[in-house]
Amino acid sequence: MQNDDDVGTLQRLSPRKVFAHEAHDFTAWLEENIGVLGDVLSMGLTSVEREKSAGDFSADLLAEDEHGSRVTIENQLEQTDHKHLGQVLTYLAVLDAEVAIWITADARPEHVSAVSWINENAGGGDFYLVKVEGVPPPVRASSDHSRFVREGAPLTVESKVGAFNPCKSPALSQAVSRLRSPEPRIRISPYVGSP
């Protein structure tokens, strides 16, 4: 049996508290750590290309799955909106992708329904809506409250922000410094998607 002092509440952070800039920080981190997303969706993702030209537009990431199918990935570190839904559909069509992944901090129920409807009624591609959130490392204050002890936490899939080189991103380095060591983690989990 655990002590009450060993049990705490898992706090959630906005991804913006971990990644100050979506394109420069989060998209760059995801490009380097594409396996985290692949693990969540049970697909092998490789050959990642950032800011892939799609006519007059640019997809955040274009990858390939284990079958050689093109996968377009659109990141949105805030609540979903119609603009990003349109972008995902445009990239799916223009890049001739077979899979679309929309990563967001907060999916509106209407957009969850829209993605489900597309998967059930529109043939030709799979569409995933994925949640990203920051998770501070589980800690327990010591008796002197000046140091913290890291403890394990059951998370769906996580990756340390430390895997991303903060030297390439001063904003990320500052964000991590403000949150103190050990580094916060990113949790990625599906809202809805093709089976």
**Amino acid 173: pLDDT:** 35
**Amino acid 159: pLDDT:** 29
- Phi, psi (degrees; rounded to nearest 5) at 110: -65, -35
Contact (Cβ atoms closer than 8 angstroms) between residue 43 and residue 35: no
CATH of domain 11-192: 3.40.1350.10
**Amino acid 125: pLDDT:** 79
Contact (Cβ atoms closer than 8 angstroms) between residue 127 and residue 193: yes
**Amino acid 167: pLDDT:** 31
* Residues of the chain where predicted confidence (pLDDT) is lower than 50: 1, 141-184, 194-195
pLDDT in tens, 28-41: 989 998 998 998 89
Report the amino acid identity of residue 76.
Q
Q: Which of 98, 26, 88 is nearest to 54 (CA)?
A: 88
**Amino acid 138: pLDDT:** 59
**Amino acid 162: pLDDT:** 28
What residue segments make up the domains of the chain, in order of their start?
11-192
Tell me the whole-structure pTM to 2 decimals: 0.70
